[in-house]
């Protein structure tokens, strides 16, 4: 028992050091080839362990992005993960907005300038405790539409948005295959939670989503979060607090990724603060890597603010304020 406690304490120390000790700034990351095998991602011919953190660009003013990313880099991260917010980028059908607080290109370029990789979780259903799960409200008015199933009207608008995001990213050479920082992209999100409700239509939809994603030819692997039976070459990933114990690997040809290592719990009205100790987080990461995991993403690394009415029902304005960086981007000293 004493030896086990020492291991946990050592892991916690390493986690805290990673969170708060400055490291030398890296040069602008330029990738090229990204592949994978059963063990890990392979970037430019070299196996990589990915330590990522979620920072959502719409939840912080653009003026704060450089500081947030610099602190993430100082915290020992080599990647930044973000969702893409459909209702922010397409507020009306066919009218796209990638400016100001929704300037995804600027955000990804800042990630690259900080010498880090990027993970682009397009969805476009994202959940994220965001209004309508990221779906624009005008989508509800489309005749004959049913969300997230083998439904032609939904698939049409979903594909149009996914391709628009990819077009914007490709134009700026932001995928690793173009020399950019984006090494992974995600289609759909936690679909296993609702797949049974759609029966065969759900299975067909997941297969369609995977095929559609591959047809975009972005040159980097695709992932599906919490999708144990991810089709084809799409990599399934885990969400939770202890993915070293909860993830069931069905396909032995794919690596083991943890897309959401929950650093705390988002707050809803009436709930007390949620704090997860550094020891607990560190032990979970060590255990995950001991089980052949090679990518962990802290969700959230910085939560930020749900501005206006963007938060989901009952979610507070602050988002994951107990993450390593609080709502204002300050280091959360309780982790010490």
pLDDT tens profile 217-236: 999 999 999 998 899 999 99
Left if phi > 0, otherwise alpha if psi is -120 to 50, otherwise beta: which for 16? alpha
More confident residue, 4 or 71: 71
- The token pair that represents 190 in the structure block: 């936690």
pLDDT tens profile 267-323: 999 998 888 999 999 999 999 999 999 999 999 999 999 999 999 999 999 999 999
Average pLDDT score, the chain: 92
**Phi (first) and psi of residue 185, to 5 degrees:** -130, 150
- The token pair that represents 128 in the structure block: 């994220």
Judge contact between 237 and 297, C-beta under 8 A. Answer: no
Tell me, yes or no, whether 330 lies in a domain: no
Read off the pLDDT band of 31 (50, 70, 90). Answer: confident
Q: Which domain holds residue 64?
A: 2-263+276-303
Tell me, yes or no, whether 229 lies in a domain: yes
Read off the pLDDT band of 29 (50, 70, 90). Answer: confident
The pTM of the full predicted model, rounded to 2 decimals, is 0.93
**How many domains are contained in the chain?**
1
Give me the CATH number covering residue 59: 3.20.20.80
pLDDT tens profile 182-192: 999 999 999 99
CB-based contacts of 258: which residues, under 8 Å, 6+ apart? 237, 238, 239, 243, 247, 288, 293, 295, 296, 297
* Predicted pLDDT of residue 335: 58
Read off the pLDDT band of 21 (50, 70, 90). Answer: very low
Taking alpha carbons only, the member of 34, 15, 9, 54 closest to residue 219 is 34
Tell me, yes or no, whether 107 lies in a domain: yes
* Predicted pLDDT of residue 336: 52
Tell me, yes or no, whether 32 lies in a domain: yes
Judge contact between 295 and 304, C-beta under 8 A. Answer: no
Tell me, yes or no, whether 223 lies in a domain: yes
* Predicted pLDDT of residue 32: 82
Q: At residue 5, does pLDDT exceed 80? A: no
pLDDT tens profile 234-267: 999 999 999 999 999 999 999 999 999 999 999 9
* Predicted pLDDT of residue 7: 39
- The token pair that represents 85 in the structure block: 């917010």
* Predicted pLDDT of residue 68: 98
Look at 21-30, 167-176, 213-222 and tell me which has the smallest mean pLDDT: 21-30
* Predicted pLDDT of residue 334: 64
Cis peptide bond N-terminal to 124, omega within 30: yes
Q: At residue 19, does pLDDT exceed 50? A: no
Cα–Cα distance between 285 and 63 in angstroms, integer?
A: 32
Q: At residue 28, does pLDDT exceed 50? A: yes
More confident residue, 333 or 335: 333
pLDDT tens profile 158-170: 999 999 999 999 9
Average pLDDT over residues 14-32: 55
Q: At residue 173, does pLDDT exceed 90? A: yes
Helices within 75-151 (DSSP H only): 86-89, 104-113
Tell me, yes or no, whether 149 lies in a domain: yes
Tell me, yes or no, whether 335 lies in a domain: no
* Contacts of the segment 225-230: beta carbons below 8 A, 24+ positions apart: 225/121, 225/186, 225/188, 225/189, 225/190, 225/259, 225/260, 226/189, 226/190, 226/191, 226/192, 226/193, 227/188, 227/190, 227/191, 227/192, 228/192, 230/206, 230/254
* Predicted pLDDT of residue 110: 98
- Residue 283, classed as helix, strand or coil, is helix
Residues forming the active site: 190, 260
Cα–Cα distance between 115 and 107 in angstroms, integer?
A: 13
Share of the chain above pLDDT 90, in %: 87
Tell me, yes or no, whether 269 lies in a domain: no
């Amino acid at each position: 028992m004493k030896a086990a406690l020492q291991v946990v304490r050592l892991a916690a120390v390493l986690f805290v050091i990673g969170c708060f000790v400055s490291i030398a700034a890296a040069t602008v990351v330029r990738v090229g080839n990204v592949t994978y095998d059963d063990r890990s991602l392979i970037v430019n011919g070299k196996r990589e362990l990915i330590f990522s953190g979620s920072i959502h660009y719409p939840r912080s003013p653009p003026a704060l992005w450089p500081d947030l990313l610099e602190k993430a880099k100082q915290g020992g991260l080599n990647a930044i993960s973000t969702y893409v917010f459909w209702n922010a980028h397409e507020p009306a059908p066919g009218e796209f907005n990638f400016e100001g607080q929704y300037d995804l290109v600027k955000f990804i370029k800042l990630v690259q300038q900080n010498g880090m990789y990027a993970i682009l979780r397009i969805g476009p259903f994202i959940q994220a405790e965001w209004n309508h799960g990221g779906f624009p409200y005008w989508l509800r008015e489309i005749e004959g539409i049913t969300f997230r199933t083998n439904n032609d009207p939904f698939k049409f608008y979903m594909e149009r948005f996914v391709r628009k995001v990819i077009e914007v990213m490709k134009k700026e050479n932001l995928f690793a295959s173009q020399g950019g920082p984006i090494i992974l992209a995600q289609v759909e999100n936690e679909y296993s939670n609702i797949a049974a409700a759609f029966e065969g239509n759900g299975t067909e939809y997941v297969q369609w989503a995977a095929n559609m994603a591959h047809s975009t030819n972005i040159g980097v692997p695709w992932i599906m979060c919490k999708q144990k039976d991810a089709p084809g070459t799409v990599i399934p990933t885990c969400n939770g607090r202890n993915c070293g114990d909860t993830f069931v690997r069905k396909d032995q040809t794919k690596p083991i990724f943890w897309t959401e290592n929950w650093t705390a719990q988002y707050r809803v009205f009436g709930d007390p603060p949620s704090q997860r100790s550094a020891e607990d987080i560190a032990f979970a990461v060590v255990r995950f890597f001991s089980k052949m995991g090679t990518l962990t993403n802290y969700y959230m690394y910085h939560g930020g603010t749900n501005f206006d009415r963007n938060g989901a029902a009952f979610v507070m304005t602050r988002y994951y304020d107990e993450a390593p960086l609080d709502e204002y981007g300050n280091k959360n000293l309780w982790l010490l």
